[in-house]
């Protein structure tokens, strides 16, 4: 505690800065210790590129791809289907599966309304996650 005595104006007091600086230094040290433990962001999953599939490797039997082709034709993987039986066939396929994930691919000429109709049927059949396969995801008929 500092105090200036005397002079023409009388007693004059001024604040002692030493305890305040000590408190500030302790707070700085506490914040420096706590800062590295604070999470920096949300965990994310970065998509990985799939290896190129050769003809000798069989396709994953657990992956279900619904293809909407020109003329209202549908295919589930390599099996032909139609709009009336699509929902029942998909619910039969996913009845025993724990992961309810399927993919849909529409031909370039097909209007998006038909693809949206197929997505609606797929979600009605109990599929929780529907992934879209775009034209750029395929090269000459091979999925990459």
In a domain, 58, yes or no: no
Query: 75 and 111 share a domain?
Result: yes
If pLDDT is split at 50, 70 and 90, which confidence band does 58 have?
very low
Assess whether pLDDT exceeds 90 at residue 8.
no
Question: How far is residue 95 CA from its own chain's centroid?
Answer: 25
Closest by Cα among 62, 37, 127, 141 to 90 = 127
Query: From CA 106, how far away is CA 135, in angstroms rounded?
Result: 8
How many helices (H) and strands (E) in the chain? 3, 9
pLDDT tier, 19 (very low <50, low <70, confident <90, very high otherwise): confident
> Three-state DSSP class for 95?
coil
Residues 80 and 134 occupy one common structural domain? yes
In this structure, what DSSP letter does residue 35 have?
A: G
pLDDT for residue 37: 66
For the cut 80, the answer to whether the pLDDT of residue 130 exceeds it is yes
In a domain, 42, yes or no: no
Q: Which domain range does residue 96 map to?
A: 65-143
- Residue 27 near residue 39, CB atoms below 8 Å: no
CATH of the domain at 115: 3.30.420.270
Which residues, in sequence order, are CB contacts of 75 under 8 Å at separation 6+? 66, 67, 69, 81
Token reading at 110:
């097909």
pLDDT tens digits, 34-49 = 877 656 666 676 777 7
Average of per-residue pLDDT across 6-12: 66
**Cβ 105 vs Cβ 75: under 8 Å:** no
Amino acid 3: pLDDT: 56
């Amino acid at each position: 505690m500092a105090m200036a005595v005397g002079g023409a104006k009388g007693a004059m007091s001024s604040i002692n800065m030493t305890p305040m600086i000590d408190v500030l230094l302790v707070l700085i040290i506490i914040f420096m210790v706590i800062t590295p433990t604070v999470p920096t962001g949300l965990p994310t999953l970065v998509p990985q590129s799939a290896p190129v599939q050769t003809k000798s490797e069989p396709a994953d039997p657990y992956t279900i791809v619904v293809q909407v082709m020109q003329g209202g034709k549908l295919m589930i993987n390599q099996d032909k289907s139609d709009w009336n039986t699509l929902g029942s066939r998909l619910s039969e396929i996913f009845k025993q599966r724990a992961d309810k994930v399927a993919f849909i691919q529409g031909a370039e000429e097909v209007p998006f309304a038909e693809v949206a109709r197929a997505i609606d049927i797929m979600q009605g059949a109990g599929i929780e996650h529907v992934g879209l396969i775009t034209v750029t995801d395929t090269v000459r008929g091979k999925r990459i």
